[in-house]
Amino acid sequence: MQTAGVCFRVNHTSGDPGWRPARDIARCSNLIVRSRLNQEKLKFVVIRFKKFDVSMRGSTPRVRSFVPSQFSDIEAVLSTIRFLRTFTAVARHGSFAVAAEQMALTQSAVSMQMRALETEFKHELFDRSGRKVMLNAMGKSLLPHAQHLLAVYEAMRVTAGGLEEDVGPVSIGAVESVVGALAEAAAHLKMTRPNLDVRITAAKSVDLAARVDSGEIDAAVIIDTPGRRPASVQWTPLYSEALVLLANTNTPKASVAQLLRTQRFLRFDRTQRTGAIIDRALRKQRIKVNEFLELNSLEGIAELVRQGIGVAVVPLLRRSSWMRDEALRVVPLPETGGKRNVGMLERAQHDKMRVTAAIVRQLKEVI
């Protein structure tokens, strides 16, 4: 008996679920599964649902021609690379949820990818017993190899993307809190393409946005602002940072609202986008603060908090060590506390887009 359709088999740690008809997962456009390729050993592939002949023998369908020509081994390789990117993100952040946000995936998708890697390597890679997801001994031993493979692949993308061509100086701006990560991303890129001329400048988001629009710089990593952007520019989101209360560890314990009313408040510059976001969040919660000092450096504010000068509301910087700082107490704001969104702004069309796209990819690796 011949019929047209797609069959799949999902790999389980115990038992054999057997082959199942594709209608069971018809709402999916892609699925990572364990599949039998022409009666060969099991391996990972990406299946896009196409019709092909299967032979029905009893109740078990057998694939006559399972993988069309477009389903080559390169798709399996690309899937593995995506999994390894997710693996390094989980290792860096110690959280499936944060890794999911960074990789633009759902948390369940991240969990599935990590289980798939563990099945492929026949070892568990994480210690899931605590609140944080930590690499176990095997995960730690595989991490450097994963990072090396991703670096080699990125070098291949750079070469294939034509970045070896002389595109001239590439000017990229950034707000102060992102300069370090941007410099690290540019350094990684220059290791593979030493002839690239990347120039980084620091300024306020509003100033950098104007310089991008005028063509003075090629791109800028800045804080997003509410409202519509002009069609002449392109926005690539990178990550978000939640607002938190920063207090000295010796500050008396109390609610966020009470601390802001009673302790000296160190405010970030309201003329900058981050300051405006903080001010909006405080107004939304109708919190009256005990104003003391306003300054335009987040690290400067953190240092004053360490010294016990006052408390502050700031974005929890992605690469900061505040959570591990014994002199600081980081307190989440209520759910409506707000956040700031960081991304790259560039003109919709310009001749350095291959370079800026490569820098975005590197930024996502280092942040």
Judge whether residue 266 has pLDDT over 90: yes
- Measured between its terminal Cα atoms, the distance across the chain in Å is 55
pLDDT tens profile 327-339:
999 999 887 668 9
- Residue percentage of the chain with pLDDT more than 70: 75
Element (H, E) at 187: helix 179-192
Higher pLDDT, 48 or 320: 320
- Distance, CA of 90 to CA of 87 (rounded, Å): 5
9 closest CA partner among 18, 1, 205: 18
Tokens 């021609």 map to which residue? 65
SS3 15: coil
Q: What is the full DSSP assignment across 55-115?
A: EEETTEEEESS-S-TTS-HHHHHHHHHHHHHHHHHHHHHT-HHHHHHHHT--HHHHHHHHH
What value does the mean pLDDT of the chain take? 78
Residue 262: which H helix or E strand, with range? helix 256-262
Tell me the C-alpha to C-alpha distance, in Å, between residue 321 and each of 38, 82, 326, 327, 357: 52, 28, 10, 11, 28
* CA dist., res. 275 & res. 241, Å (int): 14
Rg of the Cα atoms in the chain: 25
pLDDT at residue 162, as a whole number: 58
The pairing of beta strand 290-295 with beta strand 233-248: unpaired
Q: Are 51 and 5 in contact (CB under 8 A)?
A: yes
Is 325 strand, coil or helix?
coil
Greater pLDDT, 31 or 104? 104
State residue 329's pLDDT score. 94
Which segment, 103-112, 127-136, 215-224, is predicted with the most confidence on average?
A: 215-224
Q: Which residues contact 228 (CB under 8 A, 6 or more apart)?
A: none
In whole angstroms, what is the distance from residue 186 CA to residue 173 CA?
Answer: 12
Say if residue 355's pLDDT is above 50: yes
- Confidence band (pLDDT; 50, 70, 90) for 134? confident
- Residue 66 pairs in a beta bridge with none
| SS3 assignment, position 337 | helix
The mean pLDDT of 327-355, rounded to a whole number, is 87
Element (H, E) at 223: strand 219-223
Distances (CA, A) of 62 to 50, 53, 54: 16, 9, 6
Confidence band for 166, pLDDT divided at 50, 70 and 90: low
- Checking if the pLDDT of 281 tops 50, the result is yes
Whole-model pTM: value is 0.59
Q: 85-115, pLDDT tens digit by residue?
A: 899 888 888 888 888 887 778 889 999 999 9
- Give me the mean pLDDT over the 188-209 stretch: 89
